Structure 1
């Protein structure tokens, strides 16, 4: 189970990095719960694939299309949980962010059903996204 879930997580990150929304949509459960960290306009819980896509679209709009997961360092699994150490960045006008993070995915029956994100510099991320 763990190896299969790590492969699903790998496919998820590839889809995100390539902007492959069709594959991303196939990997996210219809009723996914997404926990976005911080105290900014995108923080909080999103319930459902459509709500997650709306949030990601907003992030792309605010970042002028630059928000990206630059590097996936390590994927580690334990049963239905997979964690990834990543680096992400974005820029807009005269603002920029670039930092490490950890994403924790819960995978059930081949779908990502819950996602928790952690940022190395929450204040920097909050300032970038704004309220």
Structure 2
């Protein structure tokens, strides 16, 4: 059975992110994409527009001296322009480390990502790590 095109799009995004290929990653998003990050820390909030979303992804690497990684576990599509992905995020920041399950809920229009809602297994743990 072949993979749904929306799932394939998200897998390409994860692959580009993992390789640090921000040019490819940016081509998978609309100019007005919004990435919503939960919590109450310096990275939380609504990263509106492709450039702001890309700056957020770059900052994940910068804040962790390049140690931030995600291990994709699964990708699920509804066939109506929504995809859910689940991954484990890992990174080190100063004397702190984090390993946490996260999920992303994507909205896809015209084969491009328009919206990303991020969820986490523990908002307090993420706030402590990023603060």
Q: TM-score range by the shorter chain?
A: over 0.9
1:40-79 → structure 2 map (5 Å cutoff) = 40-69=41-70, 71-78=71-78, 79=80
Q: Match of 2:101?
A: 100
1:12-91 → structure 2 map (5 Å cutoff) = 12-69=13-70, 71-78=71-78, 79-91=80-92
> Structure 1 runs of 4+ off > 4 angstroms?
none
- Mapped to 2, the partners of 1:85 and 1:57 lie a distance apart of 20
TM-score calculated relative to the size of structure 1:
0.93
TM-score calculated relative to the size of structure 2:
0.93
Name structure 1 gaps, 5 residues minimum.
none
Q: What RMSD over aligned residues (CA atoms) do the two structures have, in Å?
A: 1.2
Structure 1 residue 28: Cα displacement: 1.3
Structure 1 residue 19: Cα displacement: 1.1
- Mapped to 2, the partners of 1:58 and 1:85 lie a distance apart of 21
Q: How many residues align?
A: 128
